[in-house]
Structure 1
Amino acid sequence: MTLDVDTAQNHLIISDDLLSVYYTPQKQDRKKCAERFHPSPCVLGSSRFTSGRHYWEVVVGTSKEWDIGICKESINRKKAIYLSEKNGFWTVGVRGKKVYSASTDPLTLLLVNPRLHRVGIFLDMLENSVSFWDLSDGSHIYTFLKIPDTDPFRPFFSPASSYPEGDQEQVLSICPVTNPGIFGIPVNPQ
């Protein structure tokens, strides 16, 4: 999986290998694309999922703010987004490096290891669920159940948008899978 530059908001820097993203105050000179996010600082993964089971891992590092997960491919990218299931987003994120939440409406606050560094995301379209895991200890973070399967899904990434340019702590990176054993919903999802 890689990042889709054609969807990247113009203040996001995408690495040459298309695996990492961070925010910059300088606007990038990218071609105009109908798929591009504006004004929200977001980018989608290049993969489109319509069936099956899919797993990927994201290094969130020590970033103080981020959101990752999935969204419907058909979401409106031309207005400020509000992350919620009813708007087609199934994400987890953090604010202020200490308030973790799932994009339910209202938000579901999460008890997460404050040293969370790497997140596993498992999309199971057979069970209509998406689960998030803390890969430092294999603990379950959150599972969305009964996600609709009417649209293709895309991996979703939104790094911090209020920190100094090039601050390596604010980078989100897709990384090689290190924990392929996480392929199922937990016995007692919250």
Structure 2
Amino acid sequence: MATHSVISREDLICPRCTDIYCFPVLLHCGHNVCKVCLQQFWEWKGCQECPVCQAVSVPKRPPINLALKIAADQYHMEKMSQDRCRFHEEKLSVYCQNDEEPICLVCQMSKQHKIHECCPLDEAAKQKKVQNRKLDHIMLLTKKATVTLQRQADENNRTIREEFQKLHTFLFEEEDSRLQVLAQEVEVKVKVMSLKLEFIEKQMKTLASVIRDAERRLKGDDLSFLVVRTNTRNFSSSKFLIVAFKCLVFTLHYPAHGSLNNPPVPITLDPNTAQANLELSEELSCVRYSSQRMLPDNPERCTGGVCVLGAGGFVSGKHSWTVDVSRGKDWYIGVVRESIQRKGAMSLKPSDGVWIIGGIIGGVLWAQTSPRTRLECKQKPERVTVELDYDKGKVAFINAVDSKTIFVFKDKFTERIFPYFSTGIHDEGSGSFPLTICSQTVTVAISDK
């Protein structure tokens, strides 16, 4: 076995008959030839020469190559064992398709293979070769497909990276641009606020002087006070003097005629809450529908409805303001809570924190209850006063011309309440329909007592 392990099949083939050696003899030149083949060749040739290299051998009988003979015999035995059935020692001539193995004729007739599909070995070999060629073709196609997929994956990977790199660059540029716009807006607003603060400080100094002079005059006789009041009438018509008189009356408890238990509170519009189609007056007391403008979409801005809120808001007490709606069309006024839905569709129901009236069309006024309430009015109201009693949860709408109550909402307020103003939507070229907050006046009367 050790000898056969180092000798290949090619070494066991006779150069004369091209078959496995049968009694190989070793010539003087070193070549091996079957003994029968060598004798036939010498008889035909007429001399003792090597069939391979034509070298003339010595006139002796060549010896048998024993190692080569043993290897050839072992090869014959192994080949015979491979070609024979291990159960019946018969030649393997049939192929079982079910068990996929070669069998002999006796095996084919046996109980184990009797019902199996069988065919001759050469036919099975042809089928297997065809299948192997198909498998090789499939493997080749699979390899090509794998290479193609890998190439496509590399291209897609590169494309994705390039696209996202462009997107990252765009986002960084957009971020820088928006930060610059924000910085510019902050700078402008800070400058405006600084100017306003300077103006307010000047007015406060002037008011402080007026208050000191008024206090001094109040301690004197009535005639002197009235003379001073007449001389300062023009200045006392300003908002700041109104505030000064309010403070003066309530801090000094000066006796005065008239109802001052529920003093009016100045209401201004908050431009940071205005929808893009609304235009506010410079003093922030009038709003009208206009062409759409580019405004920053800050969190407090209302984009779900054509509306604007009042500045500041209220968390307690009684407050009132009057709105001139004489030139308005399809308007709504009232109050809303701070947490209303400002983006997207805005709900106009008390359950969602909205207490408003308006929408006057054809002489019919509506209160936005759930469902909404129809309010009959013989004449279109020109000015409507909104009275808010936060602590009692009450919002009343009063016709300022005849002091008749139009409608009253009753609810419970748990957060900051803001005044609400909506001009409605108007077609271009149909004219302007503004809503104006009426100015408040304070009258100080001197008691005869």
TM-score, normalization by structure 2? 0.38
Relative to total residues, which structure has the larger helix share, 1 or 2? Answer: 2
Structure 1 segment 13-28 matched on structure 2, within 5 A = 13-24=279-290, 26-28=291-293
Q: Which residue of 1 aligns with 2:401?
A: 136
**What is the aligned counterpart of 1:2 among 265, 268, 275?**
268
Relative to total residues, which structure has the larger strand share, 1 or 2? Answer: 1
Identity of aligned residues (%): 34
Determine the C-alpha separation between the residues in 1 that align with 2:420 and 2:429.
21
Is the 1:22–1:160 contact (alpha carbons within 8 Å) kept by the matching residues of 2?
no
Is the 1:12–1:41 contact (alpha carbons within 8 Å) kept by the matching residues of 2?
yes
| Segments ≥4 residues shifted beyond 3 Å | 163-166, 177-180
Q: Which residue of 2 aligns with 1:185?
A: none
TM-superposed CA distance for 1:39, in Å, is 3.2
**Structure 1 pair 16/165, CA: closer, same or farther in 2 (3 Å)?**
farther
Moved more, 26-35 or 11-20: 26-35
**Structure 1 pair 171/23, CA: closer, same or farther in 2 (3 Å)?**
same
Establish whether residue 114 from structure 1 lines up as the match of residue 359 from structure 2. no
Determine the C-alpha separation between the residues in 2 that align with 1:83 and 1:89.
6
Determine the C-alpha separation between the residues in 1 that align with 2:309 and 2:362.
23
Establish whether residue 126 from structure 1 lines up as the match of residue 396 from structure 2. no
Is the 2:327–2:435 contact (alpha carbons within 8 Å) kept by the matching residues of 1?
no
Q: Which residue of 2 aligns with 1:42?
A: 307
Q: Which residue of 2 aligns with 1:187?
A: none
Amino acid at match of 1:84: K
Q: Which residue of 2 aligns with 1:66?
A: 331
Bigger-Rg structure (1/2): 2
Is the 1:35–1:77 contact (alpha carbons within 8 Å) kept by the matching residues of 2?
yes
Which SS does the other structure have where 1:6 is aligned? helix
Where does the alignment leave 5 or more consecutive residues of structure 2 unmatched?
1-266, 444-449
Which SS does the other structure have where 2:272 is aligned? helix
Q: Which residue of 1 aligns with 2:412?
A: 148
Which SS does the other structure have where 2:351 is aligned? helix
- With a CA cutoff of 8 Å and minimum separation of 6, indicate the structure with the bigger relative contact order: 1
Q: Which residue of 2 aligns with 1:102?
A: 367
Which SS does the other structure have where 1:86 is aligned? helix
Q: Which residue of 2 aligns with 1:173?
A: 436
Is the 1:135–1:179 contact (alpha carbons within 8 Å) kept by the matching residues of 2?
no
Q: Which residue of 2 aligns with 1:83?
A: 348
TM-superposed CA distance for 1:99, in Å, is 2.1
TM-score, normalization by structure 1? 0.86
Determine the C-alpha separation between the residues in 2 that align with 1:78 and 1:134.
32
Q: Which residue of 2 aligns with 1:188?
A: none
Amino acid at match of 2:391: L
Establish whether residue 158 from structure 1 lines up as the match of residue 422 from structure 2. yes
Is the 1:125–1:149 contact (alpha carbons within 8 Å) kept by the matching residues of 2?
yes
Amino acid at match of 1:9: Q
Which SS does the other structure have where 1:173 is aligned? strand
TM-superposed CA distance for 1:81, in Å, is 1.4
TM-superposed CA distance for 1:165, in Å, is 5.8
TM-superposed CA distance for 1:164, in Å, is 3.8
